[in-house]
Amino acid sequence: MSGVPIRLAAAAKTFRRGTQTTEALTPIDIEIAPGEFFAVVGPSGCGKSTLLKMVAGLVPATSGEIAIAGGTVRKPVTDLGIVFQSPVLLDWRTVLGNVLVQLELRGLDAASYEPAARRLLDAVGLKGFEDRYPFELSGGMRQRAAIVRALIHDPPVLLMDEPFGALDALTREQLRLDLEALWLAKRKTVVFITHSIDEAVLLADRVAVMSPRPGKIDRLLTIDLPRPRGVTARQLPGFTKVVDDVTNLFLERGVLQTTGKLSLA
């Protein structure tokens, strides 16, 4: 299913527990176009996961408004596929069962999706592991199963929280290519969180660079590289320039430092 728009209007989040408050996100305004690939990069703890869960309606915004396809988000949004930062698979189900539970919980006929599920599992390199339990998989394999679970019902919106974080460099590159191909074919609206500036620039139409906590959008970059970007886009001058811009921004903000401080002396 192709994408729908997402709009955040002054959406902010402050966590409260007792007297302790954590300002996770200062008011944020974003308009994501239908079918846009939107990436978010930022230092650890700046509120990226919180932002994603707010969009999904899993964490209520403290103030402001979030709307998906024109409808204000007040409760968990169901018209989406979500990949959490950790795989959150069900221990008691096999890999295939973990994918099909997406459909069972939605009251869909899971059996009719089984061929598609097997195909997708094959595509992410999990062929032969369909009947294994999560504890029998590596962290990266679990994450790949979780990605398939987010895709199987063909949602118009994909929310991905560092989906390739636990993967080795090669698998990561492969899945990035696959995701780009999938997106080119389906034009879902994708919100993609990553620590990798490279990955963000290679995948996204726009990259939001977030500042350290309390998180806000420090800069919005439009990536005008031709698609499919594949593996060759890294050589384009446009690519190098954007990556440099983001890196410099992180240097300015002190998120990156060129002098090593990790010494025991």
Binding residues (CB under 6 A) for ligand ATP: these are 15, 22, 24, 42, 44-50, 85, 213
- Which of 4, 32, 66, 80 forms a contact with other proteins (CB under 8 A)? 80
- Any idea of the CA torsion for 132, 136, 140, 146, to the nearest 10 degrees? 40
Measured distance CA(70)–CA(72) in Å, rounded? 7
Considering only 133-141, 163-171, 199-207, 237-245, which stretch makes contact with other proteins by CB under 8 A?
133-141
Q: Which residues of 113-131 are buried (b: 16+ CB within 10 A; e: fewer)?
A: bbebbbebbebbebeebbe
Considering only 84-92, 178-186, 226-234, 242-250, which stretch makes contact with Mg ion by CB under 5 A?
84-92
Q: For residues 137 and 242, which CB has a smaller minimum distance to other proteins in the complex? A: 137
Q: Which of 17, 13, 24, 16 is nearest to 212 (CA)?
A: 24
Does position 49 interact with Mg ion (CB under 5 A)? The reply is yes
Q: For residues 113 and 250, which CB has a smaller minimum distance to ligand ATP in the complex? A: 250
Which helix (H) or strand (E) element contains residue 129?
none
Handedness of CA 39, 7, 64, 58 (dihedral sign): negative
Q: Which of 156, 158, 152, 166 is nearest to 87 (CA)?
A: 166
Q: For residues 25 and 223, which CB has a smaller minimum distance to ligand ATP in the complex? A: 25
- The answer to whether 40 and 221 have CB atoms below 8 angstroms apart is no
Q: Give the shortest CB-133-to-other proteins separation in angstroms.
A: 5
- Which of 37, 38, 84, 113 forms a contact with other proteins (CB under 8 A)? 84
**Which residues, at least 6 apart from 237, have a Cβ–Cβ distance to it below 8 Å?**
none
26 makes contact, choosing from Mg ion, ligand ATP, other proteins, none, with CB < 5 to 8 Å by partner type, with none
50 makes contact, choosing from Mg ion, other proteins, ligand ATP, none, with CB < 5 to 8 Å by partner type, with ligand ATP
> Helix, strand or coil for residue 244?
helix
User: Contact residues for other proteins (CB under 8 A)?
Assistant: 53, 56-58, 76-78, 80, 82, 84, 86, 88, 90-93, 101-102, 104-107, 133, 135-136
